[in-house]
Chain A
Amino acid sequence: MTHSEPLLEIHDLHAGIDGTPILKGVDLTVMPGEVHAIMGPNGSGKSTLAQVLAGREEYAVTGGTVRYRGEDLLEMEPEIRAREGVFLAFQYPVEIPGVSNTYFLKAALNAIRKHRGEKELDAVAFLNLIKAKMKLVKMDESLVKRTLNEGFSGGEKKRNEIFHMAVLEPRLAILDETDSGLDIDALRVVADGVNALRAPDRGFVVITHYQRLLEYIVPDVVHVLVDGRIVRSGGKELALELEAQGYGWAEDQSADALAAPGRERTTA
């Protein structure tokens, strides 16, 4: 594996929904093995970025490029992105009554394996795999056997997302506010799961509203997203500054730093 090639390269990404611009020029490069945290106030475009990367069609990309392992990510259908190794842990995982969590995961994993030219797993091999993954992310067997997210608590849904991630073994995992609404125990389970999956060839984009998560998942880089742009990037200490001083501080800093190019972009 080569570590010199970026896993994800976002350049000047513009996107919006229903004609309203939300992302206004995002630049972000994630190398294999790195964990990037994206923080920002409500409405800054964090979830939009996650949805756009996963291929949600409701969002229109109006400019910029996204390359994933050298390929044009925006050209790929959502399922192709997943099969190529992009995983989105949803902020609000969908309840799907009537679909078994386990069987669904088997179908998903086999779709991914088939795409990669790997042999599909039979029932026994799959069962062994999920047992190991359940242990890895401390997932309760009763949740695994239930229907997909139906009647799960908020915390259980988030843990199930991490469980899916563990089974599907993505190359790039995007966690969209996976920590929101979790108590400290659930937060630890989620963080332990992510940490267990950290690997030299795997990258993470961890979107969060709170610094707290970053005590458990220690990022390599922290970015601050405000009004559709990354206004600051730094080490993990940046998260602490944000926590202490609020986003207003980062916003003010950005206004000075980015005023000129920002104006250029809007008039271009």
Chain B
Amino acid sequence: MTTAPVDLKHTAPFVADWTALDGQLNGAQPGFVKALRRAGIERFQALGFPTPRQEAWRLTNVAPIAGTAFHRPAAAPAGIGPEDIRPYVYDGCARLVFLDGHFAPALSDMAGLPAGVTASSLADAIRAQPALVEAHLARHAGLDHPFVALNTAFVRDGAFVHVPRGTVVETPILVLFATTAAAAPTVTYPRLLVVAEAASQATVIEAYAGLAERAYLTCPVTEVVVGAGAVVDHYKVQKESVAAYHVATQQIHQDRDSTFDSHAVLTGGGLVRNDVRTVLDGEGGHCTLNGLYVVTGAQHVDNQMLVEHARPHCTSFELYKGILDGRSRSVFNGRIHVHPGAQKTDAVQANRNLILSAHAIAHSNPQLEIFADDVRCTHGSTVGELDDDAVFYLRSRGIGADAARSILTYAFASDIVDRIKVPAVRTDLAAFLFDRLPRGEVVREAV
């Protein structure tokens, strides 16, 4: 365990805020939640904010977060209507909407879900089904991560999705965490808990939006529990303000023969960190972790992946692609850990980066830790520019230089775009790319 110096100056405002919240809640939460919160703040206090001296944080400096005085909104803001969130919601989905960390029932719509399925605010679930929540909440996302500890310290609300055994939910469930405009930098601690019981199936879209271009911190923790033979399609669509900090952890636990397919679309945020961790904890499990980050300006995006093959006969497939422009930075650290005895593991990992500007930098670091002898693990990482031959080929057919580069940039992203199964999410991403790329109207016609 790394021991880093703890800077009390930085944790103190968060601890003070915790104390205020604790007093305000005054026993309103069940004992197990209170205990979690206490464990969270204590752990955060002990760990402090990570520093670049810690290997996992070497290339992502969170000092700007530690140095900002954040204000935790006490209530949902008034005056936010359906029109304000329209760019961030998808047609054909059930949805849970949170504004500044608070559940917004008026903007949410859970109609059309099968009987027995719960999709509600976490606060409601803690009241209605405390035993069910207690069985899973914070059982997977470990407190050794300072931001997980911080999030857990402030567990109050969030989203809870529960799919009973054998139930198939056709309608995708959108969980939107939006941060609205506020005078001072705000902080929210979104929590998402998804429990898919054995042989169930569901699609969950986890979305983040910044409704105003200003600095704030979103510190979410997502836990997904995939039961035996269950199938969960997960999407993360991150459209935070480019001035925002987004430090997220996503912890997946998979039982035997389960499938977890995740697609991350990361286009927003100024300083973005995602820790994505999956444990394949039953034979025959499969996970797909795909992602696309598209960054420009001074954006920084760091994806820390860990796939733990704990049992035999599991497969994992990871493809993260990045398009970097401006002075943007990306970090990809992809760990595959094969436990002793996890024979017949088949793990594939790739990180591909396309650099559009001389000032952008992509760091890519695949890591294999293999403690079983009958496995197949492959990894690859590339950082490159557009292929001159391809640009010339397109131009020689009459396509302008800007459009040619944009077509090839889109083409680079297209295998991630095409793998997105929810049409509305796929179309939204394509539209974003057409909008972002120069001469996007030609790209729209050409692909």
Contact = CB atoms under 8 A, between A and B. Distances in A.
A87 B394 CA distance: 11
A104 B393 contact: no
Interface class of chain B by DSSP: helix
Contacts of A88: 396
B96 to A, nearest CB: 34
A108 interface: yes
B399 A93 contact: no
A90 B446 contact: no
6 contacts: A54-B396, A57-B392, A79-B398, A106-B445, A107-B445, A108-B397
Pick the 3 closest A-B CB pairs, nearest first.
A98-B414, A98-B411, A82-B398
Interface string B374-404: 0000000000000111101111111111011
Given A100-B447, A104-B407, A104-B446, A79 B401 contact: yes
Q: Which range holds the interface residue count of chain A?
A: 20 to 34
Contacts of A98: 410-415, 418, 447
Interface of B: 387-390, 392-401, 403-404, 407-408, 410-415, 418, 442, 445-447
B398 A168 contact: yes
Contacts of A212: none
B15 to A, nearest CB: 50
A1 interface: no
Interface string A101-131: 0011111111110010000000000000000
B397 A97 contact: no
B415 A97 contact: yes
Contacts of B407: 96, 99, 104, 107
B401 A164 contact: no
A79 B402 CA distance: 11
A203 interface: no
Contact of A99 (B387, B392, B446): B446
Contacts of A93: 393
Given A58-B388, A104-B446, A94 B393 contact: yes
A96 B408 contact: yes
A56 interface: yes
A79 B395 contact: yes
Given A107-B446, A110-B445, A96 B411 contact: yes
Given A94-B387, A98-B415, A78 B395 contact: yes
Interface string A23-59: 0000000000000000000000000000000111110
Nearest to B418: A98
A72 interface: no
Nearest to A84: B398
A83 interface: yes
A164 B411 contact: no
Contact of A94 (B389, B413, B414): B389
A99 B398 contact: no
A106 B446 contact: yes
Interface of A: 54-58, 77-79, 81-83, 87-88, 90, 93-94, 96-100, 103-112, 115, 164, 168
Contacts of A107: 399, 403, 407, 442, 445-446
B388 A111 contact: no
Contacts of A87: 396-397
Contact of A82 (B395, B403, B414): B395
Contacts of A110: 445
Contacts of B447: 98-100, 103-104
B401 A103 contact: no
Given A98-B447, A106-B446, A111-B442, A90 B395 contact: no
Nearest to B408: A96
Contacts of B387: 94
A78 B410 contact: no
Nearest to A93: B393
A87 to B, nearest CB: 8
A54 B393 CA distance: 10
Contacts of B392: 54-57, 78
A82 B390 contact: no
A83 B393 contact: no
Contact of A111 (B400, B408, B411): B400
Contacts of A94: 387, 389-390, 393
Contacts of B411: 96-99
A25 to B, nearest CB: 25
A175 B110 CA distance: 61
B419 to A, nearest CB: 12
Given A54-B396, A57-B392, 19 more contacts: A77-B401, A79-B396, A83-B398, A88-B396, A94-B389, A94-B393, A96-B394, A97-B414, A98-B412, A98-B415, A98-B447, A99-B411, A104-B399, A107-B407, A108-B394, A109-B398, A111-B403, A115-B398, A164-B397
A112 B398 contact: yes
A111 B400 CA distance: 8
Contacts of B398: 79, 82-83, 108-109, 111-112, 115, 168
Contacts of B413: 98
Contacts of B415: 97-98
Contacts of A78: 392, 395-396
Contacts of A103: 445-447
Contacts of B404: 79
A163 to B, nearest CB: 12
A205 B39 CA distance: 78
B400 A96 contact: no
Contacts of B390: 94, 96
A112 B404 CA distance: 14
Name the residue in B387, B396, B407, B413 with the highest tally of chain A Cβ atoms < 10 Å from its Cβ: B396
A26 B408 CA distance: 34
Contacts of A100: 446-447
A98 B413 CA distance: 8
Nearest to B407: A99
Contacts of B410: 98-99
A97 B417 CA distance: 13
Nearest to B443: A107
Nearest to A83: B398
